[in-house]
Chains A and B, each alone.
Chain A
Amino acid sequence: MHASLFITCYNDTLFPETGRAVVKLLERLGVDLDFQPQQTCCGQMHANTGFRGEAFSQAKRFVHLYRDAENVVIPSASCVAMIRDQYYGLFEDLGNDSLRNEFAALLPRIYELSEFLIDRLKVEDVGAWFPHRVVYHASCHGLRALRLDDRPYRLLSKVRGLTQLPLPNLDRCCGFGGTFSIKNADVSSAMLATKLQDIVSTGADYCAALDNSCLMHLGGAMHRQSLGMKTIHLAEILASTESSPMETVR
């Protein structure tokens, strides 16, 4: 099977280890990957801050870049949610028929990583080994926009050596919210403190998620407070094997 990787601007710049893990994981599962170096951003930051015209031009770029892809895999739930929930509206307002048709044809081939593994590759056991206690943070976009449901848990349950710990109030936002974390920094920090309390109460070694944006927020506070817990993208856990364990960078 062939898949095109949309790594996202955020992961490309700040969390390249997540991208490398996706490559390692999918190639191990026999997926033939390509990466278009022209890719930049899906437009989420602009759309969610109210810069609609700017978001539109980025969305249009995305569609043009991937219209011929067999599958598009994106290791970020919020970017997939942006594409699924907002592109149609942007193209309705600012696009033309050919763009709308191209997007409609492309949309069913766009997958968040855990969707791609479970729904497309039909695999739960990816052969991973990760001997740590892990709490999964179900990001708002993964939980309510994509409705990933039990996919992440099913993947984690098959990882050898891994202990899953349940997170209290798992449906409560961590307070990141993109530019919300800057525009409403004080409220965002208060939400972060509440969330961190729940996460730390689990006593896990790692907090995992399918969104590095939440993890940057949570991990930044963990580091500030020297909490000893680390954050990790789910892809990095799934890429880790006994013979080739995960990189430690965070």
Chain B
Amino acid sequence: MSLAAQSRSASPHPNLDPATAPPFPQAALSILQDTQLRRNVAHATDVIQANRAKRVAEKTDWLQLRDAASAIRNHALENMAAYLEQFETRCTAAGGVVHWASDAAEARQIILNLLHEENAPEVIKIKTMTSAEIQLNPFLQTAGVNVFETDLAEIILQLGNEEPSHIVVPALHINRSQVRDIFARSMHLDDLSDDPHALTAAARSYLRQKFLTIPTAISGANFLIAETGAVVVVESEGNGRMCLTLPRAMITLAGIEKILPRYSDLEVMLQVLARSATGERMNPYTSLWTGVTPNDGPRRFHVVLLDNGRSSILSRPTERQTLKCIRCAACINACPVYRQTGGHAYGSIYPGPIGAILTPQLEQMRHAQSLPYASSLCSACYEVCPVKINIPEVLIELRAQVVDQDRRRVKRLFDPMFVGMKIANFVFQVPWRFHLAQRLGRTAARVFTRSDGWIHSLPGLGAKWTQTRDLRGLPNQTFHEWWAARAQQPKRAKDPMRAKEPQ
């Protein structure tokens, strides 16, 4: 077992429930010490990013494609109610059964009831982040249903008792030798090597037995097609295809925002999705199915449409764009914050920039208030987003909501950041206050300025700065003081370089 795996084994389950997870800075601090995990994350995201850049660069019409994808998603959201009803009608006509779940608890109960109707003590699953959002697996296990993941990454997580750290590559934080350890332990294969072929073969023999014996499956959905009532699942391994074709009964869980108006919209969406997600021109397996087909695939098919806070996001003009997301994770791979911390620090199964805006909104701003601040607002996310979600704009909007919550709390008066921001605003309103504050700051800074002219340590919030950076001592003359002094001088002497040297 590697050092990193050992250090994590002290707490095998990083807390990904936003209601109870520690704030981002705190969660990040402990992860920053896990050098193996950080190396894994940086390497994996660098590889995916480079592949994405290559595949995007070869599309000369990428910007137009991106505009089209954004327009399709906007249109779908603006007319979501009508398209969802159309989907229900078409899917029902094709032999599917559509269920509506307003929240996670309702969705879990619907799925459990369906499994009871099927008399299913076991169920196989295609990778679905939405099921992780509603914490379906632990619920089903408690209710006596054994759940088996079939996506390779999800198997690694399930067998290794690990949590997902990425929405496309959930086991991205785990490297090959760690996978070997997990498989060797859980499949009792002491001689297993970490050769990718050997690992794949081990997973295959584990999976075949599940595919052939368990007749009930749960899937997510990448898209729902209103026009035809079809469900679309996009994957790389073919294990999803197995789940979609072998079982007798299939239950699909999908967020209501997954709706697309027309079948032909896939022409655009599948192009941007594969290139953005995995840096491939086309993903290996794209499965579409519409209701049930006699003698082909599942005989009973259910779709559970999940709201869980989405319609409230839809009602807000700035935040609505969050729902355009097609879960490609390009923003996550591009994020310099995620690159340092990986996914677990976000305390949610949705990490990275998209998680930082989606999670607090799904929680109706009751939890995860630290996430909108888990960004330097560098805009790398917005730059790569294939549906043009202005993530920094939404982050700033959510920060304003967090501050508005703070304004109503007494504890704000003891929060140095809050008090500091109020004082700064008071100071910035009137020039003489600003100039007085500059002079007072200059005097105060002298106390901390060492003989080299730099400040090496500060108290209070300033200590957060000086933990890794020095700060140059404040110059003796501000710019506006210099300008005023210069105006006093005769015109010829106005060489800026003759300014009184600060320090």
Contact = CB atoms under 8 A, between A and B. Distances in A.
B223 interface: no
Interface stretch (B80-88, B265-273, B491-499): B491-499
B378 to A, nearest CB: 4
Nearest to B374: A184
B480 A12 contact: yes
B431 interface: yes
B468 A224 contact: yes
Given A57-B429, A182-B417, A185-B464, A14 B376 contact: no
Interface in A14-73: 14-17, 19-21, 23-24, 27, 35, 37-41, 43, 45-52, 54, 57-58, 61
B478 A12 contact: yes
Contact of B497 (A24, A46, A176): A24
A191 interface: yes
Contact of B25 (A46, A144, A184): A184
Contacts of A188: 376
Interface stretch (A106-114, A125-133, A157-165, A215-223): A215-223
Contacts of A43: 428
B454 A7 contact: no
Contact of B375 (A52, A177, A185): A177
Contacts of B379: 140, 144-145
B380 A173 contact: yes
Contacts of A47: 396
Contact of A12 (B467, B479, B501): B479
Contacts of A184: 24-25, 28, 337, 373-374
Interface stretch (B140-148, B152-160, B397-405): B397-405
B340 interface: yes
B337 A191 contact: yes
Q: How large is the interface on A (under 10, 10 to 19, 20 to 34, 35 or more residues)?
A: 35 or more
A179 B396 CA distance: 13
Contacts of B429: 40, 57-58, 61
B501 A16 contact: no
Find the residue from B434, B438, B474, B495 having the highest chain A CB count within 10 A: B434
Nearest to A143: B379
A11 B399 contact: no
A192 to B, nearest CB: 7
B202 interface: no
A186 B25 contact: yes
B474 A191 contact: no
B376 A13 contact: no
Nearest to B431: A38
B468 A192 contact: yes
Contacts of A150: none
A186 to B, nearest CB: 5
Interface stretch (A95-103, A199-207, A242-250): A242-250
Contacts of A9: 428, 434
B441 A16 contact: no
B288 interface: no
Given A20-B479, A20-B482, A221-B468, A190 B424 contact: no
Contacts of B24: 184
Given A50-B402, A221-B468, A140 B378 contact: yes
Nearest to B28: A187
A224 B336 contact: no
A16 B478 contact: yes
Interface in B429-465: 429, 431, 434, 438, 441, 454, 456, 461, 464-465
A24 to B, nearest CB: 4
A187 B378 contact: no
Contacts of A57: 425, 429
Interface in B305-331: 318
Interface of B: 24-25, 28-29, 32, 318, 336-337, 339-341, 372-380, 382-383, 393, 396, 398-404, 417, 421-422, 424-425, 427-429, 431, 434, 438, 441, 454, 456, 461, 464-465, 467-472, 474-475, 477-484, 494-497, 499, 501-503
28 contacts: A14-B472, A16-B477, A16-B478, A16-B499, A20-B499, A35-B480, A37-B480, A40-B428, A40-B434, A49-B403, A49-B417, A50-B396, A50-B398, A54-B421, A58-B428, A140-B380, A144-B382, A171-B380, A181-B464, A183-B25, A186-B32, A190-B32, A194-B336, A221-B469, A221-B470, A223-B470, A224-B469, A249-B503
Among all A-B residue pairs, the 4 with the closest Cβ atoms = A177-B376, A220-B469, A50-B399, A173-B378
Given A37-B484, A50-B399, A58-B425, 14 more contacts: A12-B479, A14-B475, A15-B475, A16-B479, A21-B496, A27-B496, A40-B434, A47-B396, A144-B379, A175-B336, A185-B464, A187-B341, A189-B467, A249-B502
